[in-house]
C-alpha cells in the first residue's frame, strides 16, 4: 500500500516542531565557530568568507528552511560551493 505524502500545511507544521529558531541559530553559530577554529577548515573559510555576520545570517536562514520550513533562504548553495574549484580531497591519517 503506497504511503501518501503529507499535505504541505501538515509538513510545515511538522517541521516547526523539529527545533526552535533559537536552536537553529545556536547550531549554526556553534558549528561554524568550530569550523573556523579547525586547522584544516579554518583557512578555507577565512579565504572565502569576508563578512561573517551576513554569512551566518544566510546560513541560519538556509538551515531554518530545511529544519523548520521557514522558506527565508532564496539562494543557490550548490552554485556558491561549486566555484571553489581549488579544493582537493584530503585523506585523514586515521582513516
pTM tops 0.75, yes or no: no
Which tops the pLDDT comparison, 84 or 46?
46
pLDDT 10s digits, 19-73: 999 999 999 999 999 999 999 999 999 999 999 999 999 999 999 999 999 999 9
CB within 8 Å of 18: residues ≥ 6 apart? 67, 68
Question: Is it true that domain 15-82 has CATH number 3.90.1150.10?
Answer: no
Domains of the chain, residue spans: 15-82
Angle at 88 between CA 77 and CA 55, to 5 degrees: 30
Amino acid at each position: 500500500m503506497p504511503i501518501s505524502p503529507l499535505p504541505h500545511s501538515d509538513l510545515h507544521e511538522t517541521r516547526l516542531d523539529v527545533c526552535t529558531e533559537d536552536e537553529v541559530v545556536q547550531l549554526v553559530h556553534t558549528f561554524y565557530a568550530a569550523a573556523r577554529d579547525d586547522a584544516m577548515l579554518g583557512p578555507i573559510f577565512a579565504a572565502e568568507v569576508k563578512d561573517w555576520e551576513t554569512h551566518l545570517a544566510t546560513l541560519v536562514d538556509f538551515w531554518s528552511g530545511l529544519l523548520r520550513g521557514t522558506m527565508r533562504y532564496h539562494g543557490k548553495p550548490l552554485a556558491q560551493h561549486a566555484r571553489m574549484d581549488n579544493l582537493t580531497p584530503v585523506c585523514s591519517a586515521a582513516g
